[in-house]
């Protein structure tokens, strides 16, 4: 069974009105050599049934799905499997059951759609990461896999290395080395560290590098990072060259777990995003993107379109929402169900229930296109949030404050990422930095953004 394909298939499932059962079973025998999962799973499934009212439709479909699961569990799995994953919802016409060759935690989740993070996590197993701890003279690099340090390397700046114990003698060095040279040596050290890291990452197929260092060396390392490496680096605090290996291991395992959880969520989102793109194509065929003109007479670098009951338009007369596409004279294309569903899912995850967008502003960015800091304030109801979904090429989202002058945070956004802002943040300034050139497997040289609002 191809788990990747399974994940994609399940990620495309629309939420259902009826219960959707996701069941992960750890089937490894305990130290007596016996597997105990059978009775546990039966009990869990039976207990959960009681959360539905007797003789309700939900209870009926749940019982039917649970019955099918039990039947499969009794007849199918080989004793050699380490784990099992089952997904069942008759109402959504889904029944998937797979044997896993890696252990999983037993977990029963009943919701409106499949629970996919454990599956996404399985696909990521066996991942290794590197940790680099550095100051301006010296660096230690560790490769961590399967929860332990597997390899150690150190990089030392020969010209500026300090004596083994104690600080280096300021007085002696200052006589020989002026500030310019020190900077140069620091830069050389950063470069050497980056080269070593680059080699390790390439040779060992490492996906993530956790980097710790002081405020002098980190900017120099950042500057020296080639693109491929920069994309894998996560800067972390709390470690330095005096940290013990145990500290390095426990701290980075924790960070790695957090980053993994983010990646798993990202994988699921990316699998869903593929479907949004297919719908987007249909919408844009009906209402092609166009470069609107600002009231001040500037042609926008981002090409825009809309779907939904109303669409955002800008022309010499100002900004407004309009039910008619001025280019075609016809209403905007309707908002596809999968758009609405993704927007509502993101809103709920961010804590906004009942989001009912009537407009989806579609923005198409090509390399160089950007959106200057602005507020979204053409909507009537600021009580509802903005939900923004990114597709295709990555971008840097600029998220400022309530005043234009406040410094904006730079948030990297990738394919399938969603940003939600509402409540006290509803009127925060935001924008997009000039899009870097690139090639995305699904969108080529474009980034698309879907921005959902309650406009009228
Ligand atoms: C917008 O502000 O409407 C679009 C933001 C984005 O493209 O991410
Ligand atoms: Fe905006």
Report mean pLDDT in 10-residue bins for the chain, 456 residues.
80 84 86 74 93 91 95 83 91 91 87 84 73 94 81 78 48 60 88 94 87 93 92 90 89 82 77 88 97 95 98 95 98 96 92 95 97 95 96 95 94 93 96 94 95 97
Distance in angstroms (rounded) separating the CA atoms of residues 258 and 173: 43
Cβ–Cβ under 8 Å, residues 316 and 324: no
- Work out whether strand 409-413 and strand 208-213 pair parallel, antiparallel, or are unpaired: unpaired
pTM for the full predicted model: 0.59
Residue 295 has a CB neighbour count (10 Å cut-off) of 11
| Nearest atom (ligand 1) to Cα of 413 | 8
Residue 182 has a CB neighbour count (10 Å cut-off) of 15
| Nearest atom (ligand 1) to Cα of 302 | 7
Residues with C-beta atoms within 5 A of ion ligand 2: 376
| Nearest atom (ligand 1) to Cα of 363 | 7
- Tell me, what's the pLDDT at 163? 46
Pocket test for ligand 1, best of 308, 343, 395, 432 (most atoms within 8 A of CB): 432
Residue 94: partners with Cβ closer than 8 Å, 6 or more residues away: 10, 13, 20, 87, 88, 114
- Tell me, what's the pLDDT at 170? 55
In this structure, the residue with its CA closest to atom 3 of ligand 1 is 451
Residue 431 CA to ligand 2 center (angstroms) comes to 7
Reduced to 3 states (helix: H, G, I; strand: E, B; else coil), residue 276 is helix
Cβ–Cβ under 8 Å, residues 429 and 402: yes
Distance in angstroms (rounded) separating the CA atoms of residues 422 and 382: 8
Distance in angstroms (rounded) separating the CA atoms of residues 437 and 440: 10
Angle between helices 57-75 and 37-49 (to 10 degrees): 170
Residue 264 CA to ligand 2 center (angstroms) comes to 27
Own/partner pairs, 293-296, CB within 8 angstroms, 24+ separation: 295/319
Residue 374 CA to ligand 1 center (angstroms) comes to 10
- Tell me, what's the pLDDT at 159? 63
Ligand number nearest to the C-alpha of 398 = 1
- Full set of structural domains in the chain with CATH: 3-117 (3.30.960.10), 129-243 (3.30.420.60), 272-453 (2.60.120.590)
**Euclidean distance between the first and the last CA atom of the chain, given in angstroms as a whole number:** 48
**Ligand 1 binding pocket, CB closer than 6 Å:** 361, 363, 371, 388, 397, 430, 432, 449, 451
| Nearest atom (ligand 1) to Cα of 395 | 8
Residue 381 CA to ligand 2 center (angstroms) comes to 15
Residue 84 C-beta-side C-alpha neighbours within 13 Å: 23
Cβ–Cβ under 8 Å, residues 192 and 157: yes
Q: Specify burial of residue 424 (Cβ count, 10 A radius: 0-12, 13-18, 19+).
A: exposed
Tokens (6 digits) for 32: 């007596």
- Tell me, what's the pLDDT at 167? 47
CA distances from 35 to 29, 73, 80 (A): 4, 13, 11
Residue 110 C-beta-side C-alpha neighbours within 13 Å: 20
In this structure, the residue with its CA closest to atom 7 of ligand 1 is 449
CA distances from 225 to 191, 192, 297, 320 (A): 8, 11, 41, 44
Angle between helices 3-11 and 245-286 (to 10 degrees): 50
Distance in angstroms (rounded) separating the CA atoms of residues 42 and 172: 75
Distance in angstroms (rounded) separating the CA atoms of residues 376 and 370: 16
Residue 147 CA to ligand 1 center (angstroms) comes to 40
């Amino acid at each position: 069974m191809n788990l990747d394909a399974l994940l994609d298939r399940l990620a495309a499932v629309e939420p259902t009105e009826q219960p959707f059962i996701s069941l992960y079973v750890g089937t490894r025998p305990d130290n007596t050599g016996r597997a105990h999962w059978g009775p546990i799973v039966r009990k869990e499934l039976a207990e959960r049934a009681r959360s539905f009212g007797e003789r309700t439709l939900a209870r009926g479909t749940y019982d039917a799905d649970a019955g099918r699961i039990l039947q499969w569990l009794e007849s199918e799995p080989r004793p050699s499997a380490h784990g099992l994953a089952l997904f069942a919802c008759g109402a959504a016409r889904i029944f998937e059951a797979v044997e896993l060759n890696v252990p999983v935690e037993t977990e029963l989740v009943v919701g409106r759609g499949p629970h996919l993070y454990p599956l996404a996590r399985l696909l990521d197993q066996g991942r290794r990461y590197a940790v680099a701890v550095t100051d301006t003279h010296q660096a230690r690099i560790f490769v961590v896999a399967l929860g332990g340090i597997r390899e150690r390397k150190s990089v030392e700046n020969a010209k500026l290395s300090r004596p083994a114990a104690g600080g280096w003698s300021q007085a002696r060095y200052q006589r020989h080395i002026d500030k310019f040279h020190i900077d140069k040596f620091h830069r050389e050290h950063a470069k050497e560290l980056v080269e070593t890291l680059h080699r390790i990452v390439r040779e060992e197929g490492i996906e993530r590098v956790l980097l710790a260092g002081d405020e002098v060396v980190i900017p120099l390392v950042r500057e020296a990072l080639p693109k491929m490496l920069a994309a894998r680096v996560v800067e972390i605090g709390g470690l330095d060259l005096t940290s013990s290996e145990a500290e390095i291991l426990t701290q980075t395992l924790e960070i790695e777990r957090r980053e993994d959880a983010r990646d798993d969520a990202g994988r699921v989102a990316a699998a869903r995003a593929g479907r949004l793109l297919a719908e987007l194509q249909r919408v844009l065929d009906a209402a092609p993107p166009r470069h609107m003109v600002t009231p001040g007479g500037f042609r926008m670098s981002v090409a825009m379109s809309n779907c939904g009951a109303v669409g955002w338009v800008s022309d010499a007369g100002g900004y407004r929402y309009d039910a008619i596409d001025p280019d075609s004279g016809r209403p905007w294309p309707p908002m596809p169900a999968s758009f609405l569903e993704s927007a509502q899912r993101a809103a709920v995850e961010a804590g906004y229930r009942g989001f009912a967008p009537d407009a989806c502003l579609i923005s198409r960015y090509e390399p160089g296109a950007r959106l200057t800091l602005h507020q979204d304030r053409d909507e009537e109801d600021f009580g509802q949030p903005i939900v923004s979904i990114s597709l295709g090429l990555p971008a840097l989202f600029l998220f400022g404050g309530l005043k234009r002058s406040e410094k904006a945070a730079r948030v990297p956004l990738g394919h399938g990422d969603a940003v939600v802002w509402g409540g006290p943040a509803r009127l925060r300034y935001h924008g997009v930095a000039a899009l870097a050139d690139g090639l995305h497997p699904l969108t080529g040289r474009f980034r698309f953004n879907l921005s959902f609002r309650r406009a009228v």
